[in-house]
Amino acid sequence: MSGGLKVLFLTQTFPRFADDTAGPFIQELARGLVAGGDEVTVLTPHSRGVADAWEVDGVRVESFRYAPETIEVIGYSRSLDRDESIRAAAFLATPLYALSARRKIRRMLSRESFDLLHAHWVVPNALVAAPFAKRLAIGPGLHGSDVFLAERGGVRSLVGRSLARSSFLTGCSPELVDRVCALGFPRARASVIPYGVDVETFSPDRERGREWRDRLGVPETAPLLLGVGRMVTKKGFHVLLEVLPALLDDFPSAHVCLAGAGDLLDAFRERTARWSDRVHLPGIVLRDTLPDLYRASDIFVLPAVHDVKGNVDGLPNVILEAMASGLPVVASGISGIPLAVEDGVHGALVEERNAEQLRSALAGLLSALGRAREMGDNARRKAVRELTWGAVAGRYRESYVAGLSRAGTPRGS
């Protein structure tokens, strides 16, 4: 297919300012597509401080209002309680969100044409996009929490109907794709595509990591274990806390940093209070300083789990950022994580919720930091070779082109 595509993203999360941690992978994918010659317009809900329209690196962004600002609670990591249930306010606001998003899309289509609409998060955005299937190719992008919402009884049939109108589907993990295809989309037409990572922003540089070590009070020679993510059940940090007493006893110079905000942060601070000089929970870390936190660290850990509702991450971006930063990764071998991390090559994959395996894997690397650095070097090489946003955007473009062919809608209709 000659010429670039005109792509419309519908997303409920997009960076609201330069260093925002909300949805940076959506922005990076859009940038990657633009760099490859496509046009991308992003439609995102309004939130406090969000402009009506702006442009970032050739990506045009427009926001839409759906409720008074005090009850704009959709997206930006505000909709779910611990990622296990919908907050009451978000549940009530969702119909307003859907109506306003559809109204905004109609206005956009009345003034210009697009080839396709990529609805990031199958719930609610694939449901919002479904009525436009006769005008352009549509397809959902799966990211994690949206899949467990799609399987809920009250939404399942609506998702099935929206999938019947979809001409492509993307997901960052085989599990997420399989679970949604079970609701009514042909598996052969779906694409499993890992996220990418900016290998220039996230890169090894021990000197630049010293500021974080000074800030946390970690001696230069002390090994530092790092976990990054929202403090919610599916990240699995509670499993790490189970083994921390033994690890801290066995490795008396080791420090641990768990960076991120979330519903469980206060509880985690209480559980680790007795080791406050060695276990650091700085809260949310903005993206301008996050690369240096990776650089300050020696081992990355994310013992992700399926929570009690079946919610699970696809492929956490932080794993790719750690790999690009030259860190070995210790993580659960679930969902999309094995797409990036090969056990024994880039780190260690452990059984979900298996605290003893997690302790053993971390102890093994802490006991052999030279081997840990070799694995980190391997991880960096894989990120540079396979996981740049340019390479990943090319795979998304292939999925879009296949979807356009199936949809049978003229380009720019």
Kindly list the distances between the CA atom of residue 117 and the CA atoms of 5, 27, 130, 321, in Å, as whole numbers in the listed order. 11, 15, 10, 28
Residue 213 confidence class, pLDDT cut points 50, 70, 90: very high
Most confident of 76-85, 144-153, 177-186, 307-316: 177-186
Read out DSSP for 152-193?
A: SHHHHHHHHHHHHT-S-EEESSHHHHHHHHTTT--GGGEEE-
Considering only 26-35, 36-45, 304-313, 381-390, which range has the smallest mean pLDDT? 304-313
Q: What distance in Å separates the CA atoms of residue 206 and residue 298, rounded to the nearest whole number? A: 10
- The residue among 148 and 275 whose pLDDT is bigger is 275
296/205 Cα distance (integer angstroms): 8
Per-residue model confidence (pLDDT) at position 391: 96
Predicted confidence band at 243 (pLDDT cuts at 50, 70, 90)? very high
Distance in angstroms (rounded) separating the CA atoms of residues 403 and 329: 35
Which residue has better confidence, 181 or 408? 181
pLDDT exceeds cutoff 90 at 226: yes
Phi, psi of 330 (to 5 degrees): -110, 115
For the beta carbon of residue 174, count every other beta carbon within 10 angstroms.
16
Label residue 236 by pLDDT band (50, 70, 90). very high
Check residue 77 and give its pLDDT. Answer: 66
Report the pLDDT value the prediction gives residue 132, as an integer from 0 to 100.
97
| 355 Cα distance to chain centroid | 24
Question: Percentage of the chain surpassing pLDDT 70?
Answer: 95
Domains of the chain, earliest start first: 6-196+388-407 (3.40.50.2000), 206-386 (3.40.50.2000)
- 39-45: strand order across its sheet: 53-56, 59-64, 39-45, 6-10, 116-120, 137-142, 169-171, 190-192
Tokens of 283: 């809260």
**pLDDT above 60 for 54:** yes
CA atoms within 13 A on the CB side of 220: 5
Q: Is the predicted pLDDT of residue 1 greater than 50, yes or no?
A: no
CA 310 to CA 147: how far, in whole Å?
9
Number of helices and strands in the chain (H, E): 15, 16
Helix (H, G, I), strand (E, B) or coil at 24: helix
Q: To the nearest whole number, what is the mean pLDDT of the chain?
A: 94
* pLDDT tens digit sequence for 258-309: 999 999 999 999 999 999 999 999 999 999 999 999 999 999 999 999 998 8
Tens digit of each residue's pLDDT (9 = 90 or more) over 82-112? 545 456 667 788 899 999 999 999 999 999 9
Between 46-60, 71-85, 220-234, 262-276, the lowest mean confidence (pLDDT) is in 71-85
Average pLDDT over residues 305-329: 95
The pTM of this model reads: 0.91
Q: Contact 44/16 with Cβ under 8 angstroms? A: no
